Structure 1
Amino acid sequence: MTQSSHVARALEQVSGRPVELVEIVSEGDTNRGSLSQLGGTGVFATSLRESLKRRECDLLVHSLKDLPTAQPEGFVIAANPLRADPRDVILTADGTPLENLPEGSVVGTGSPRRIAQVLRVRPDLEIHDLRGNVDSRMQRVVDGELTAIVLAAAGLARLRPDSPLVYENRDLDGWPTAAGQGALAVETLEDGDPDLLAAIAMLDDAPTRFAVTVERAVLAGIEAGCHAPVGVHARLDGGRVHVRASVYGLAGERAIEEVLSEDVSIDTPGEGYIRPQGSGNGADAADGVDQIDHARDIGNGIARRLLERGAADLVSRESPL
């Protein structure tokens, strides 16, 4: 609801029309099972898309990292707004870094990727499966039930929870996060109101779209679900894209990594969530299509090299329905 509110206010600004929030409950909101057992694929998206298809709402706002990589027929991601901090954060009561936690400390996370990354750094730590909202997760550290938890920096920045816990940001070079982490996807119907599509397009940030397209192409290329033990991060800097992708054994006992850096040509970003008037949608303009095709090619190439090196042996390959 918080991230949807941010998009709603930006859409009001560019369209001049009021935007109403419609709350829809997904399986991912109600099922308390482990994400590693649920698989993750579609649990946060299916019911929302059904509501959109029934025209109960006009658009959806997703956390991109929770979306399956296959786009359903008739639906379109009309904008990826400017990305927030893509890093993971370790939260503790006293600020002790992960590397220095006492032996046997209990770390809470429900993500197979994060589990593998924690155990790769500290195989002696105990992992506790963790679900629930941000406040309830943080309280378990405050109460001493858990020594540390792992959360997304973007969620903490959007929610701004009031907590005494100390944050330790993990470096993306050694700790790549989920494909699309920190980014939003504004989804609507392909045959939707042209004025609405045009307004949503003004929220699109071309560098963000390019980077997350690379990341999701890697995930799709190795046919891994969005909650598989795969970390991939792409960033643009000075006309070059830098990508790091890692596929982990479930206990962090093994990792296969690919690193790439190459020149690219990307539209300049807009201001915050809003692109300048007349800049168009980087996904739909002719040069934008070429950029997105290039991003997919980069991601597909990385996925192919990961598979050649044995990545398929480390992930449960899922059909991204």
Structure 2
Amino acid sequence: MIRLGTRGSALALAQSQRVADSIAARTGEEVELVTITTQGDVSTAPLASMGGAGVFVVAVREALLAGECDVVVHSLKDLPTAPHPDLVIGAVPKRADARDAGVVAGGVALKDLPAGSRVGTGSPRRQAQLRRRFPELEVVEMRGNVDTRLARVLGDREGVEHDLDAVILAAAGLERIGREGVVTEHLGIDGWPTAPGQGALAVETRADVSGALKRALIGLDHASTRTAVEAERAVLRKLEAGCSAPLGAHAFIDDGMMFLAARVYSPEGEQVSSAHAQYVDDSRTPAEDLANRVVDELLQNGAADLMPKEGAR
């Protein structure tokens, strides 16, 4: 039996089950989910005060290193960019929808909400984007699982206060738990760049993985997704920013060409630094080369003054 470690939220279980099914199909072995509780799951403190979204990763990795499980699944946007000396990302499956989605009471667009409407998100990037695009709205810091966040807008869960007019969430997460039907609007990547790695998963295992599991992970890996998210995450790493930084980056490959764009916001959204670049045909390391060019342009445009450094992750 192969043991797959996962957080216990509905979203984590849903995306882990998809990976478990893929591994089982490739190995012919049973894959058991092992639920792991993290500090981020039990604390109500803002993520930034606990070190950012990477707080969800620590306990899961510890269980993997302790031999409590054989493989773990992360939302790639939460994974620190610094490599772990004893672990490897064995697979990055094909990416789902990378966009953010707005869920708005009454089904109206964000732009049609009246001044003073309350919009919830726990992401500093989304908060900055909302303040920049819709300064008349009130941005509300929030925590909780996806269903709890939705209930604060939709009023469909007993014991959860119905106190928000809208919430911004990852489209991929809503799809993975079967709640895509509540989306009012998808926010375009061009105007609303998302977190590096958003929509993608990282399947991590110990560096000495071998046999059927290793072969299954090689088969599960999606090369173009891995290359694109490596470019996005390289921007984060080279800027020495944490995974909760007010930074959006998105790369994609089209007809053999790779494109990368990134945007850094001041916390209140008043200032922004943007940059973009495209793949150079003769590059042997396109993700790193593109990230270098984009980061150089971001820094020339004042990105270092907009974003507090948290140390390379």
Same fold (TM over 0.5): yes
Q: Within the alignment, does 1:147 sit opposite 2:139 as a pair?
A: no
- Using the TM superposition, give the Cα deviation of residue 87 of structure 1 relative to its aligned residue in structure 2, in angstroms: 0.2
RCO higher in structure (CA 8 A, sep ≥6): 1
Counterpart of 2:92? 80
Moved over 4 A (4+): none
Q: Within the alignment, does 1:201 sit opposite 2:193 as a pair?
A: no
Within 5 A, what are the aligned runs for 1:1-150? Answer: 1-40=13-52, 42-143=54-155, 144-150=162-168
Counterpart of 2:310? 318
Counterpart of 2:6? none
Amino acid at match of 1:241: M
Distance in 1 between residues matched to 2:53 and 2:203, nearest whole Å: 18
The farther-off stretch of 26-35 and 7-16 is 26-35
TM-score (norm 1): 0.88
Partner SS for 2:173 = helix
Q: Deviations over 1:109-162 (max 9, x none)?
A: 010000000111011211111111111111111234101000000000000138
Question: Residues 120, 202 of structure 1: CA spacing in aligned structure 2 closer, same or farther, 3 A cutoff?
Answer: same
Counterpart of 2:7? none
Counterpart of 2:176? 158
Partner SS for 1:81 = coil
Q: Deviations over 1:219-243 (max 9, x none)?
A: 0010110010000011111111122
Q: Once the two structures are aligned, what percentage of the paired residues are identical? A: 47
Q: Does the aligned pair in 2 maintain the 1:213–1:295 contact within 8 Å?
A: yes
- Using the TM superposition, give the Cα deviation of residue 33 of structure 1 relative to its aligned residue in structure 2, in angstroms: 1.3
Give the counterpart of 1:259 among 272, 276, 293.
276
Counterpart of 1:281? none
Distance in 2 between residues matched to 1:96 and 1:215, nearest whole Å: 32
Query: How many residues align structurally?
Result: 295
Counterpart of 1:296? 288
Q: Within the alignment, does 1:189 sit opposite 2:206 as a pair?
A: yes
Distance in 1 between residues matched to 2:44 and 2:299, nearest whole Å: 32
Distance in 2 between residues matched to 1:109 and 1:41, nearest whole Å: 13
Give the counterpart of 2:266 among 249, 252, 268.
249
Q: Does the aligned pair in 1 maintain the 2:174–2:180 contact within 8 Å?
A: no
Distance in 1 between residues matched to 2:141 and 2:249, nearest whole Å: 22
Q: Does the aligned pair in 1 maintain the 2:47–2:53 contact within 8 Å?
A: no
Amino acid at match of 2:14: T
Distance in 2 between residues matched to 1:190 and 1:260, nearest whole Å: 33
TM-score (norm 2): 0.90
Q: Is there any run of 5+ residues in structure 1 with no aligned partner, and where?
A: 266-289
Question: Residues 166, 216 of structure 1: CA spacing in aligned structure 2 closer, same or farther, 3 A cutoff?
Answer: closer
- Using the TM superposition, give the Cα deviation of residue 256 of structure 1 relative to its aligned residue in structure 2, in angstroms: 0.4
- Using the TM superposition, give the Cα deviation of residue 70 of structure 1 relative to its aligned residue in structure 2, in angstroms: 0.4
Distance in 1 between residues matched to 2:61 and 2:96, nearest whole Å: 24
- Note the aligned Cα RMSD (angstroms): 1.7
Partner SS for 2:279 = strand
Amino acid at match of 1:189: R
Q: Is there any run of 5+ residues in structure 2 with no aligned partner, and where?
A: 1-12, 156-161
Q: Does the aligned pair in 2 maintain the 1:232–1:246 contact within 8 Å?
A: yes
Distance in 1 between residues matched to 2:175 and 2:51, nearest whole Å: 26
Give the counterpart of 2:299 among 307, 315, 319.
307
- Using the TM superposition, give the Cα deviation of residue 26 of structure 1 relative to its aligned residue in structure 2, in angstroms: 1.2
Question: Residues 194, 303 of structure 1: CA spacing in aligned structure 2 closer, same or farther, 3 A cutoff?
Answer: farther
Q: Does the aligned pair in 1 maintain the 2:118–2:165 contact within 8 Å?
A: yes
Q: Does the aligned pair in 1 maintain the 2:235–2:295 contact within 8 Å?
A: yes
Q: Within the alignment, does 1:174 sit opposite 2:191 as a pair?
A: yes
Distance in 2 between residues matched to 1:88 and 1:316, nearest whole Å: 24
Q: Deviations over 1:164-205 (max 9, x none)?
A: x44210000111100000000000111123432221111000
Partner SS for 2:203 = strand
Q: Does the aligned pair in 2 maintain the 1:91–1:150 contact within 8 Å?
A: yes
Distance in 2 between residues matched to 1:191 and 1:215, nearest whole Å: 27
Q: Within the alignment, does 1:219 sit opposite 2:217 as a pair?
A: no
Partner SS for 1:94 = helix
Distance in 1 between residues matched to 2:50 and 2:98, nearest whole Å: 24
- Using the TM superposition, give the Cα deviation of residue 95 of structure 1 relative to its aligned residue in structure 2, in angstroms: 2.2
Amino acid at match of 1:38: M
Partner SS for 1:21 = strand
